Chains A and B, each alone.
Chain A
Amino acid sequence: MITYAKSVVAVRADIGQAHNAAWGRIARAGTWFDGATRVAIAAETRNAPPCPLCKRRKETLSPGAIVGHHDSLGALPERVVEQIHRIVSDPGRLSRQWFDGILASGTSDAEYVEIVGVIATVVSIDTFCRAIGLPPHPLPQPEPGEPHRRRPRTAHQRGEAWLPMIHPKDLEGHLDTDEERALAKYWGGIPSNIRRALSLVPEEAYAWFQLVETQYLPGKWMRDFANEYRAIAHAQIELIAGRVSFLNQCFY
């Protein structure tokens, strides 16, 4: 259970609730991984920054040219550790070739997406803690349960990303799964590619943006420049967002 009771600044209740919900999701079985594996992915996410191999790669022009083994916790296959460490340590230089190599090593595209969802959740909540002066929260204890392993038939490769994604038009008519129905109800309209990015695992796409909208702004507020909804103004919000993205070398 996440608490901000010891924070020197009062944290909005909705942020605390969103972080608790996200932490609970990490502990439970997801679509392709059980709770123990998801918590292991979270732990490896935290373990990545001091990895010597990652540091050497970060310093070179061609990270793929440096071979070696990651300094991992040993709970996950090397291909999963490679995915986690590269996304955490050097996201701005990920390439299609690197992505194809991860899939060729045995990770399915849907597993890849679920791993990204866990990484994003941990990075986001850990960054929040650091930014308000708190240590990271202890990781949750895994809960029993099996992943349901349902792949949405509505996800297709249209050349908009490395991975198949669901387009809102795919969600018209009969839907096979509860996850797709939830996404159809949630999206409405034409969502941006970043909202669709994890939609090969609809639960990750939905849950990730629940966290995003709580920490950032719900979609309808983002472009409502006539009103301010946070303690900082739209311009200040977008300044922080833009500077962070530039530092991460994120083109999108």
Chain B
Amino acid sequence: MLRASSKAKGEKYDLTLLTGGSGDGNIPHGALLVEFAEAVLDSNDPHLPTVQTEIRAKMGDAALVDSAAIAATFNAIDRVADATGILIEDAKAEATADFRAALGINALAENRGEVADPRTDR
């Protein structure tokens, strides 16, 4: 979806932010939002209050709430996907094959002993 947004907006976002790249990636406050996602998921991360304060100061309270809602959604939706073993749809697999390979995302599926491209498993 980030790449779809990038294409639609005609902006070139740095997708390596998803896998640990640094900087804003041409997304406003990109580095801060990545830091927020990481702090939310790590229950031992002592920096979360600092990041929350920074988001409120730079982006506003509503941005913190909506950022929190997104992190909350995907921290759970990932578990639904993984616990049910759903395959990525053919169209999505085809549309994202190049950048999944480039970013090393396919390794996540291979770590589970599954195929990266579900079309080869039918």
Closest A residue, CB atoms, query B68: A131
- Assess the A11–B65 pair: CB atoms within 8 A: yes
Interface flags for B83-118 (1: CB within 8 Å of A; 0: not) read: 111111100000000000000011011011110100
Interface flags for A127-153 (1: CB within 8 Å of B; 0: not) read: 110111100000000000000000000
List chain A residues, Cβ under 8 A from B28: 233, 235-236
In angstroms, Cα B66 to Cα A237, docked, is 8
- Assess the B5–A246 pair: CB atoms within 8 A: no
Jot down 8 A-B pairs with beta carbons below 8 A, ordered by A.
Answer: A92-B82, A119-B83, A231-B66, A232-B67, A236-B30, A239-B33, A240-B67, A248-B78
Beyond A95-B112, A132-B52, A194-B80, whether A125 also contacts B72 by CB under 8 A is yes
Partner of A222, one of B1, B27, B33, B105: B1
- Assess the A244–B66 pair: CB atoms within 8 A: no
List chain A residues, Cβ under 8 A from B113: 95
List chain A residues, Cβ under 8 A from B17: 239, 242-243
Binds B, one of A26-34, A167-175, A208-216: A208-216
Interface flags for B25-39 (1: CB within 8 Å of A; 0: not) read: 101111001101110
For the complex of A and B, the 7 pairs showing the least CB-CB separation, nearest first, are: A131-B68, A162-B85, A225-B8, A231-B62, A250-B78, A128-B72, A124-B76
In angstroms, Cα B70 to Cα A212, docked, is 9
List chain B residues, Cβ under 8 A from A99: 83, 85
Report A153-208 residues with CB < 8 Å from chain B CB.
Answer: 159-163, 165, 192-194, 196-198, 208
Query: Is A108 part of the binding interface, using a Cβ–Cβ cutoff of 8 Å?
Result: no
Contacts between chains A and B (CB distance < 8 A), count: 255
Partner of A124, one of B2, B59, B61, B72: B72
Query: Is A10 part of the binding interface, using a Cβ–Cβ cutoff of 8 Å?
Result: yes
List chain A residues, Cβ under 8 A from B37: 240, 243-244, 247
In angstroms, Cα B37 to Cα A232, docked, is 14
- Assess the A127–B72 pair: CB atoms within 8 A: yes
Interface residues on A, range: 35 or more
Query: Is B56 part of the binding interface, using a Cβ–Cβ cutoff of 8 Å?
Result: yes
- B24 → A minimal CB distance (Å): 10
Tell which of B41, B60, B80, B113 has the most Cβ of chain A within 10 Å.
B80
List chain A residues, Cβ under 8 A from B69: 12, 15, 128, 214-216
Closest A residue, CB atoms, query B88: A252
Interface flags for B6-49 (1: CB within 8 Å of A; 0: not) read: 10110101010111100001011110011011101101000011
Query: Is A234 part of the binding interface, using a Cβ–Cβ cutoff of 8 Å?
Result: yes
Partner of A252, one of B6, B27, B33, B81: B81
List chain A residues, Cβ under 8 A from B25: 239
